[in-house]
A and B are shown apart, each in its own frame.
Chain A
């Protein structure tokens, strides 16, 4: 397996994550990020300023924070004092893609990524995502990312033969793995029967099919190939990153086609110099906020054929391909940094630091995230040890 395509590479030197929690009422964003900062400093000894971190890429959302320029409030903790800081205002995996470009451009050698979000702060994340729809039609009709997912779930289940039964097993598996991950939010194991019995949230999505409201924070330190060894003995290399956008109005899309995800995956593979993820990846972390998304995104990433999602589950695909051993987004991450948590998990696996859910000899990992309604936008990150 080739690593990179003969170009310079960028490494993830260290990662830090806060345990995802249903309600971090006792701390504010600054406190959450400070823990991440101190963790990364402990691991790497990095300093701010000339010769160290001169660029920070933050991830936060103004709606979720209820704060214009949400990076302003945490600027002191981020470390942007007479330094450059830029906020990624989309799901955080894209911060890694962007930071990768910043370093490859030669502009900066070392970049710190820090993201935070409290989904518990606002009375309803559905009220927020409702504002993601156009004011005249989508919002008025009451669309939000939950019922958008419901529409997509219904369509995908019809296409792939995925049933309520499959969804229950996906959730049950997620909990089993989350139980081994001290950073996961929902770690209580559930038998499939209990999942099937949970009330409908947005048919066909049951309450237990949906990711719980979560608060969290994540950080990563990235460095150029020349500088990586200053910060770690076990750099994790970014070999490919790509994202892709689908149309916005549902009438313009085929909700089951994975149009954007396939494009992003293909481009990421091209950049990484690998033929397909199915053959290359030892570990996969997909952002499955709703149970149906796990097989659907795996299909989009090429781990099974079109419309084969149900078969993928029946044949033990998630186990075989080591999917979401962290518990995945299903176990609960705030949606705007759920992809960053996937990247953190992937990096830990490649560093050999995944503890109870470590895959032995993991050399290549994929982290995925999605943004927008019903997977309008997808991002794929390929990492290699």
Chain B
């Protein structure tokens, strides 16, 4: 495996978010983006003049705005500057940070501002998602983003009761984390003694997937500022968070061949294997202090914990059941409440990286992990089950 040799190191020095909700009628897209940008600049102690390049992304068919970065120039602060627009679907927020990392590491740009956003309210989310499918065939079959096939597989492997309880445990754990995060969108105040009731009474969507298991639809924006190690040495307002490495794993659009007689390797596991191997990480569960995972649904989350952490058998279930993914567990997962609590699609994956960075910095607030966070993992998800994975470090220790 080729050892990764980065031209120069890159750190996150500024993080900005807007509040996330489904009622942002009082702001237009430009204003929403500007809010995130201003928050990021303030966090970094910088002005827009310090930014060399802006990287912008979302899923434009959700808002039906063609080349939105043109209209958004005012809110992004990209006037007179260099700019790129990269879009990859649900993973876009994370891709934007990967791209910004590449741009700064290249030596061509010193300080890059990346912005992910979505205003789902302004369009039709179901329409946008349905448009993801091939118009010639799959669009006729598409059921939006709702599917229970993974729940079905888990149940086949581990038994119905255990799997349903695991999914509900995960869901309630996510809500408990969200309750500590004032910026989260959906905060329901769930308790573990509601488990049985919720398992029975939450409206059924598809198969075992119930409303309670599914992520939100939110509006909001996230902006991050990355800079080179030279600039970091000149001084930063907040502790820098180093981007050690990142990887992306895609696959063909066809999703019929995911649930056949033999299941192909997931992009989650593939991405993790390659990324960890080239960074010499043999025990991800032991190495990382926090994992902000893009979890669109509770069943996927349960499955992917095993995939990302390269676990075998039912180890991921045992860890979940033992509380090792709780805030005070061996590897806290989604202290922010995750995607189930907040999902402004174009920003969601960036929020995972932002939240992981806040944990390293120690200023996540109410949902800060008590133990010191030195090594963080963040994932992005989208498309036909694609993955983006990023490793963040407190120190440039590689």
> Would you call A27 an interface residue if the criterion is a C-beta within 8 Å of the partner chain's C-beta atoms?
no
Q: Are B66 and A63 in contact (CB under 8 A)?
A: yes
Min distance, Cβ B244 to any Cβ of chain A, angstroms = 12
CA A150 to CA B341, docked complex, whole Å: 47
0/1 string, A94-114, CB within 8 A of B gives 1? 100110111111110000000
Q: Are A372 and B70 in contact (CB under 8 A)?
A: yes
Q: Are B66 and A69 in contact (CB under 8 A)?
A: no
Contact of B248 among A7, A84, A131 (CB under 8 A): A84
> Would you call A21 an interface residue if the criterion is a C-beta within 8 Å of the partner chain's C-beta atoms?
no
Q: Are B60 and A90 in contact (CB under 8 A)?
A: no
Q: Are B248 and A97 in contact (CB under 8 A)?
A: no
0/1 string, A41-72, CB within 8 A of B gives 1? 00000000011000100000111001111011
Q: Are B84 and A244 in contact (CB under 8 A)?
A: no
Give chain B residues whose Cβ lies under 8 Å from the Cβ of A89. 57, 60, 67, 85-87
Q: Are A106 and B71 in contact (CB under 8 A)?
A: no
Which residues 68-102 in A have Cβ within 8 Å of B in the complex? Answer: 68-69, 71-73, 75-76, 80-90, 94, 97-98, 100-102
Tally A residues with Cβ within 8 Å of B. 66
The majority secondary structure among interface residues of chain A is mixed
- Which segment, of A173-181, A245-253, A279-287, faces chain B? A245-253
- Which segment, of B101-109, B184-192, B316-324, B354-362, faces chain A? B101-109
0/1 string, B88-120, CB within 8 A of A gives 1? 110000010011011111111100000000000
Interface size class of B (residues with CB under 8 A): 35 or more
Q: Are A66 and B131 in contact (CB under 8 A)?
A: yes
> Would you call A202 an interface residue if the criterion is a C-beta within 8 Å of the partner chain's C-beta atoms?
no
A81/B250 contact (C-beta < 8 A), A69-B132, A248-B73, A377-B70 known: yes
> Would you call B313 an interface residue if the criterion is a C-beta within 8 Å of the partner chain's C-beta atoms?
no
Contact of B71 among A71, A76, A105, A133 (CB under 8 A): A133
Give chain B residues whose Cβ lies under 8 Å from the Cβ of A267. 82
Q: Are A371 and B67 in contact (CB under 8 A)?
A: yes
Of the listed residues B71, B131, B267, the one surrounded by the most CB atoms of chain A closer than 10 A to its CB is B71
Min distance, Cβ A93 to any Cβ of chain B, angstroms = 11
Min distance, Cβ B391 to any Cβ of chain A, angstroms = 13
Of the listed residues A72, A97, A242, the one surrounded by the most CB atoms of chain B closer than 10 A to its CB is A72
Min distance, Cβ A106 to any Cβ of chain B, angstroms = 4
Can you name the residue of chain A whose Cβ is closest to the Cβ of B249?
Answer: A82
A105/B7 contact (C-beta < 8 A), A62-B87, A247-B79 known: yes
Can you name the residue of chain B whose Cβ is closest to the Cβ of A88?
Answer: B86
Q: Are A105 and B106 in contact (CB under 8 A)?
A: yes
Contact of A104 among B71, B106, B254 (CB under 8 A): B106
Q: Are A102 and B60 in contact (CB under 8 A)?
A: no
Q: Are A105 and B6 in contact (CB under 8 A)?
A: yes
Q: Are B66 and A131 in contact (CB under 8 A)?
A: yes
Can you name the residue of chain B whose Cβ is closest to the Cβ of A103?
Answer: B106
Q: Are A245 and B78 in contact (CB under 8 A)?
A: yes
Give chain A residues whose Cβ lies under 8 Å from the Cβ of B87. 62, 69, 87, 89
Min distance, Cβ A130 to any Cβ of chain B, angstroms = 8
Min distance, Cβ A79 to any Cβ of chain B, angstroms = 9
Contact of B6 among A69, A87, A98, A106 (CB under 8 A): A106
> Would you call A17 an interface residue if the criterion is a C-beta within 8 Å of the partner chain's C-beta atoms?
no
CB-based closest 8 A-B pairs: A84-B248, A105-B105, A104-B106, A80-B250, A101-B106, A69-B89, A76-B252, A132-B66
Q: List 9 A-B contacts (CB under 8 A).
A: A7-B107, A50-B1, A67-B132, A68-B89, A90-B67, A105-B6, A131-B65, A249-B74, A259-B80
